[in-house]
Amino acid sequence: MAEISGVPTADIDNVDGFFTTQGGGGVSPDSLLTGAGTMVAFAPSIRFYPSINYEFNKRCYSSHSFTKLSASADYQVVWGIKSDGTLWVCAVENGYFSGANPVVDQDGEWHQYGTDMDWTDISSGRQCFGAIKGGAYYFLGRNNAYQEGNGSNATRINWTLANNSLTWAQCALGETHTVLRTSTGEVYTCGQNFSYATAQGTTSGYTTVLTREDNSLTSVTWVGAGNADSTAVIGGEIYFTGQNSGPHAGFQSTSQSDVNGFTAVSAAITDVVSTHHQSRYSLIAVTTNGSIRFAGSANSRCRPDNINSNQLSATNQLSILTGAGTGWTSFFGTASDSSGNVYAGVGIKSGSMHIGGGISQIQGLTNNAITNGYWSSLTNSGTPSAGSIGETLMVVSWS
| Alpha-carbon distance values, 381 to 33, 80, 378 (Å) | 9, 21, 10
188, 239, 328, 331: which one binds another protein (CB under 8 A) = 188
CB nearer to another protein: give 200 or 392.
200
Q: What are phi and psi of 106, to 5 degrees?
A: -115, 60
Q: Are 376 and 355 in contact (CB under 8 A)?
A: yes
Helix (H) or strand (E) holding 320: strand 319-320
| Alpha-carbon distance values, 272 to 56, 182, 289, 320 (Å) | 37, 19, 9, 11
By CB under 8 A, the residues from 144 to 163 that bind another protein are 144, 146, 149-150, 153, 163
Q: How many residues bind another protein (CB under 8 A)?
A: 25
Q: Are 205 and 252 in contact (CB under 8 A)?
A: no
- Binding window for another protein (CB under 8 A); candidates: 121-129, 197-205, 277-285, 354-362: 197-205
> Within a 10 A sphere around the Cβ of 221, how many other Cβ atoms?
16
205, 235, 323, 351: which one binds another protein (CB under 8 A) = 205
Give the Cα-Cα-Cα angle 240, 138, 199 (nearest 5 degrees).
20
CB nearer to another protein: give 153 or 253.
153
Contact mark string toward another protein, 66..105, x via CB under 8 A: ----------------------------------------
Q: Is 124 helix (H, G, I), strand (E, B) or coil?
A: strand
Contact between 313 and another protein per CB under 8 A = no
212, 271, 319, 374: which one binds another protein (CB under 8 A) = 212
Minimum CB separation of residue 210 from another protein in Å reads 4
For 274: left if phi > 0, alpha if psi spans -120 to 50, otherwise beta; the answer is beta
Contact between 107 and another protein per CB under 8 A = no
Contact between 115 and another protein per CB under 8 A = no
67, 208, 215, 221: which one binds another protein (CB under 8 A) = 208
What does the binding site for another protein look like in residue numbers (CB under 8 A)? Answer: 144, 146, 149-150, 153, 163, 165-166, 188, 193, 200-212, 214, 216
